[in-house]
Homo-oligomer: A and B are copies of this chain.
Amino acid sequence: MPRRRTSRAPAGAPPGIPVVAPESLPPRIHAIRYSQHSIEEMDLLTVDECRALVTPSHVTWIDVQGLGNVELLKAFGERFGLHPLAVEDIATSTQRPKMDDYDTHLYVITRMPEPGEMVGTDQTSIFIGPNFVITFQEHYGDCLGPVRERLRKGKGLMRRSGSDYLAYTIIDAIVDGYFPILETHGERLEALEDDVIENPTRNCLAKIYEAKRNLLTLRRAMWPLRDAVNSMIREESDLVTPQTRTYLRDCYDHAVQILDMVETYRELAAGLTEIYVSSLSQKLNEVMKVLTIISTIFIPLTFIAGVYGMNFDLWPPGSWSGSFTTVMIGMTILAILMIFYFVRKGWIELAEFPVIGSIVKRIRAQEK
């Protein structure tokens, strides 16, 4: 269980005061300010500079990557009028996705899949104001590159729509970011399936358990994310236009589809455990059959040999040398009878010994 060190405030601490994990990265701020006809991008601003960018004529997207500066978070909270509880949640990196409506702004927590990882998710906080969107990410780098590209190109609805549509685009990109991860999961399960049926090693067991745990983690991230998107659709906030709600409904459908896939993979993984145990039983049966066949054939023969090795006078009195051949023939017949018994019981696969197999088949055919 590769767990994150959490940066939760200790129990009993006052609410609304963010606590930052020691290993947090120093924040980098990037802002995009656009209207239908213009777009400008800026790096490395102070909070005051950020505030100044926000004007009714433009939509401003302020993206903060790295949370290692408590004062900065507090400053954002104060200058943009963000609710203290929301500011605290930014820094607590184990939040469940949710949507809170603080009248003047909406606060959406999402979990963005980390590039190149199977489970890890970065907490991404999104504040949606009347003409600004502020996003806070734990790490540098994200999956929002295509969103920025679309803003720069200025095609489609983005540049013509408000901050709510920008927020939708960001959330949609995050949700869609789960599809490739799930496809990788699907491929791994397929590969595991063959392994488990063919050759159930201890390694398979660990892999199945890992797959289950990863899918559980994905489910924990997606389930509340779906609910958060649904809240945005249903909440009666003026910040979300009806048009954006229609698009959010599409995003909601994607979230439902992802959950659907996660549940399906979880059921398949559960089925794999059953197959693993069954395969082990099957293998044990095979091992025991070999042992039983060998023992059942040779233990009685060894006994017979033992009888003739007893230190008695010759019995029946007379020449033993002829009798030796008789005994050997008797033993051979006994062995053949037993082999036939096992073939009939199906313990010896005919396919492996084609000569005997074909004889037995002929006999069976005659019987019927």
**What residues of chain B lie closer than 8 Å to A273, measured between beta carbons?**
274, 278
Digitize A25-66: 1 where CB-to-B-CB distance is under 8 Å, 0 elsewhere.
000000000000000000000000000000000000000000
**What residues of chain B lie closer than 8 Å to A358, measured between beta carbons?**
none
Given A305-B307, A308-B310, A313-B321; 17 other pairs, CB 8 A cutoff = A12-B143, A13-B176, A14-B156, A89-B250, A209-B271, A280-B281, A281-B284, A284-B288, A287-B289, A287-B347, A301-B306, A306-B306, A308-B311, A310-B324, A311-B311, A311-B320, A312-B324
Cβ of A277 under 8 Å from chain B? yes
A367 CB, min distance to chain B CBs, angstroms: 17
A328 CB, min distance to chain B CBs, angstroms: 8
Query: Measured between alpha carbons, how far is A96 from B241 in the docked complex, in Å?
Result: 26
Q: Which residues does A use to contact B, with CB under 8 Å?
A: 1, 3, 6, 8-17, 83, 85, 89, 94-96, 98, 100, 143-147, 149-150, 155-158, 169, 172-173, 176-177, 179-180, 183, 186, 189-190, 193, 197, 199, 202, 205-206, 209, 212-213, 216-217, 220, 246-247, 249-250, 253, 256-257, 260, 264, 267-268, 271, 273-285, 287-292, 294-296, 298-303, 305-315, 317, 319-321, 323-325, 327-328, 346-347
Check if B282 sits within 8 Å of A205, measured CB to CB: yes
Chain B residue at minimal CB-CB distance from A143 = B11
Check if A296 sits within 8 Å of B296, measured CB to CB: no
Set B186, B193, B291, B300: member contacting A296, Cβ < 8 A:
B291
Set B96, B186, B209, B296: member contacting A3, Cβ < 8 A:
B186
